Amino acid sequence: MRLRRTAVALLLTATAALTATPATATATATAHAGHPAPFPTGTATAPDGRTALTDAQGRHLQLRGFNLDKYAEATPADVDAVAAQGFTLVRLPVSWTRLEPERGRLDPAELHRLGRLLDRADRLGLLVLVDFHQDVYGPEFVGGNNGIPAWATRDDGLPFTPDPKDWFAGYFQPAVQAAFRHLYDDPDLRDWQADFYTRLARELRGHRSLLGYDLFNEPFGPVAGDPSDPAALAAASAALERGRLADMYRRLITAVRRVDSRSWLFVEPTVLVGQGVPTALPGLTDPRPGAPRLGYAPHFYDTAVENGADWNPADGFIEQYTAAITGYPAAHHLPVLVGEWGPPNSRTPGNTELVRRQVTAMDGFAEGWTMWYWCRGTGGYCALDPAGRPAPGDGPAFGPYPAAVAGSDVHAADGVVRWTADGTGHPSELVLPPAAFPRGARVAVSPADARVDIEQPADGRAGTVRIRLPHTRPGTPVTVRVTAR
């Protein structure tokens, strides 16, 4: 649909109050501590099946941010830095083996450390998605202190030979396959896992920043057949999702709901979705009173890029992934939050283009995302360079975005945000990360009678554009164009 492009030009600077603006718009600049993220209280499903997260005013929400703390290295200062860039969400990996090194006792030091991070998020208005993380099951196979504890690992004495060049191949080792089979099937392990989820949820439920839980990171195994045969692997993965994995999710949903009816609970498919294989997960139910708070949290990784290649835009990855990812949440009216995405090296030409294309694609099917990974470095997934600026190639992840919109059919790309107004007159809010707007921004809005309030703190924190359309009829198209000064 062509939109009327009558615009009200607004001038925004980072260090001083705004100059006069046209009479049809009002602009202000005030310092503020952050951008409190509205907590999603419900959903709204469009005719095409896409389900948005909504707040108490019915506004459509976009949650964006980064993964943090897989290696227990994060500090409250890192939470501050994420918030200062205008992001509203942190995905916080937690480890069963770190939290419960001995059966039946949660480690008080680890709980305190997590509590400090959540306390800081509480004060800043960030939302936190707690991710129950594992890679290749746990430390019995990959070392470190991540995943499922040794006391919950049963490998039947089968062999495990790590491949330093392909960590993912460890999932197909006999010992790892056995460990997953026991976790899914043994009644005592199932009970211990559910009990751990209940006790941790009881500890964390008092934090207003707690969005909810990603119930099991990158689930896999046991899978029968030849892993080098794509068709056999897809069939085995589908059987896992329909059976053992779905049963696990039902147990874990019940475990959290014993003590927490507020949080959102997200489920993941197996990682084969990155190869264009749709999930076979069945629909799941939420026992909480009222409307369900369930969501879908796939990861968005290209296998070739993960193995070190520069992305080839002609390989069809974006299109195949998008086709594979959309059917399940549409069928079950689930909001999509992409829990992990991003190349290991965004600096190469193909991967730079991949980041841009992924941001655009997610705008079309997801209600939020958390990039992997908030750290400083010269590669290795770090989203920041050594000086703390966006890493070369990761700039699109730091672009302006619509955090809360009083309308539907929301799309954002290349500094232009469009939506269809709902006629309520509630304010819509766009975030201006300072990494993309170090000297402020120009903002043009249609329709011309919009009331526009702009906040740009002088301390370098993210700015906000608030737009009210008090006299607009439902269905009116809205366009906001943001350009850096």
User: Following DSSP, what letter does each residue of 291-352 receive, concatenated?
Assistant: S--EEE--EE--HHHHTTPPP-GGG-HHHHHHHHHHHHHHHHT--BEE-EE--S-TTSHHHH
Identify which of 314, 296, 295, 294 has the alpha carbon closest to the alpha carbon of residue 304: 314
Write out pLDDT tens, residues 133-148: 999 999 999 988 899 9
Predicted pLDDT of residue 218:
97
The one-letter code for the residue type at 19 is T
pLDDT mean over 372-384: 94
pLDDT > 70: what percent of the chain? 93
Predicted pLDDT of residue 154:
98
For residue 447, whether the previous peptide bond is cis, meaning omega lies within 30 degrees of 0, is yes
Q: Band the pLDDT of 258: cuts 50, 70, 90.
A: very high
Average pLDDT taken over every residue of the chain: 90
Q: Domains in the chain and their CATH numbers?
A: 1-61+400-485 (no CATH), 62-398 (3.20.20.80)
Q: Band the pLDDT of 413: cuts 50, 70, 90.
A: confident
Residue 27 near residue 18, CB atoms below 8 Å: yes
d(CA 468, CA 145): 49
Q: Which tops the pLDDT comparison, 450 or 19?
A: 450
Residue 222: both structure tokens together: 């046991």
pLDDT mean over 355-376: 96
d(CA 88, CA 64): 6
Write out pLDDT tens, residues 427-444: 999 999 999 988 888 899
Element (H, E) at 61: strand 60-61
Cα 363 off chain centre by: 12
Report the range of poorest mean pLDDT among 52-56, 82-86, 247-251, 376-380: 376-380
| Residue 13 predicted with pLDDT over 80 | no
Residue 300: both structure tokens together: 């968005």
Write out pLDDT tens, residues 442-461: 899 999 889 999 888 877 78
Predicted pLDDT of residue 12:
27
Angle at 118 between CA 198 and CA 60, to 5 degrees: 90
d(CA 48, CA 101): 46
| Residue 30 predicted with pLDDT over 80 | no
| Residue 83 predicted with pLDDT over 60 | yes
Write out pLDDT tens, residues 183-204: 999 999 999 999 999 999 999 9
pTM of the model: 0.92
Residue 57 near residue 81, CB atoms below 8 Å: no
Predicted pLDDT of residue 19:
24
pLDDT mean over 463-485: 91
Predicted pLDDT of residue 31:
28
Residue 338 near residue 368, CB atoms below 8 Å: yes
Predicted pLDDT of residue 269:
98
Write out pLDDT tens, residues 280-326: 999 999 999 999 999 999 999 999 999 999 999 999 999 999 999 99
Q: Which tops the pLDDT comparison, 19 or 141?
A: 141
**Strand, helix or coil at 199?**
helix
Strands (E), 172-274: 210-214, 264-267
| Residue 38 predicted with pLDDT over 60 | yes
| Residue 330 predicted with pLDDT over 90 | yes
Predicted pLDDT of residue 35:
64
**Strand, helix or coil at 245?**
helix
Write out pLDDT tens, residues 207-252: 999 999 999 999 998 988 788 899 999 999 999 999 999 999 999 9
Residue 8 near residue 445, CB atoms below 8 Å: yes
| Residue 352 predicted with pLDDT over 90 | yes
